[in-house]
Chain A
Amino acid sequence: DAKTTQPNSMESNEEEPVHLPCNHSTISGTDYIHWYRQLPSQGPEYVIHGLTSNVNNRMASLAIAEDRKSSTLILHRATLRDAAVYYCILSQGAQKLVFGQGTRLTINP
């Protein structure tokens, strides 16, 4: 399974943008880049996914580098409810997800 590298933790302030980086230098051409997040005491929750192009949805934006070896999850205006562990995962289609340790995001009021 292709691996990803994320910072262990990040901190930001409420109502400011947050950029969560992910490195995946061994990504293959058919790997999708997924982001899930896990709020305290809950199961993981899908955030966004992409293959080559940048993606936007109501929760976040995903910026993918041209060589696909890195990506950034962007939360445009962080709220306290965005405090969670964010996981960057590579997967091909409807297969198992291989989670790393993720980035623990703290939002300061």
Chain B
Amino acid sequence: DTGVSQDPRHKITKRGQNVTFRCDPISEHNRLYWYRQTLGQGPEFLTYFQNEAQLEKSRLLSDRFSAERPKGSFSTLEIQRTEQGDSAMYLCASSPIFWTGMVEQYFGPGTRLTVT
């Protein structure tokens, strides 16, 4: 078990460009979460999947953001027409589901996005 991985680790893009990030969760983890973290703040929830179904989206997730989890394995987060305000660390986490419902989330190292 290699943990949650994210790719790329760093991305610099120009305003107006599209970017896509990938997250590979721990194998057999049903749930996958995306968070965004700006400098000096705690992570903010964006969206989560249970298997391939996207179950909740934050109001922070504007129309320019889209996330997918085809086949319930890896996930992608795409940002279209990037803005400078999108500069942040994008974190992915995964967790299993147990009947008790109480499980911990395992976080990846994050993708740092800089929009110039």
A residues touching B (Cβ–Cβ < 8 Å)? 32, 34, 42-46, 49, 51, 85, 87, 92-94, 96-102
Residues of A within 8 A of B105 (CB): 44, 46, 97
Pick from B41, B91, B97: contact of A43, CB under 8 Å: B91
Interface set, chain B 11-48, CB cutoff 8 A to A: 31, 33, 35, 40-45, 48
Instruction: Report the separation of the CA atoms of residues A51 and B100 in the bound assembly, to the nearest whole angstrom.
Output: 12
Pick from B4, B42, B48, B93: contact of A100, CB under 8 Å: B42
Pick from A32, A43, A51, A99: contact of B44, CB under 8 Å: A99
| Chain A at the B interface: SS class | loop
Pick from A32, A44, A46, A92: contact of B43, CB under 8 Å: A44
Closest to B3 in A: A43
Closest to B30 in A: A94
Q: Would you mind naming 25 contact pairs between A and B with Cβ atoms under 8 Å apart? A: A43-B108, A43-B109, A44-B43, A44-B91, A46-B104, A46-B105, A46-B106, A49-B102, A49-B104, A51-B102, A93-B101, A93-B102, A93-B103, A94-B31, A94-B95, A94-B98, A94-B102, A96-B33, A97-B43, A97-B105, A99-B35, A99-B42, A99-B43, A99-B44, A101-B41
Known: A94-B95, A96-B56. A43 touches B107 (CB 8 A): yes
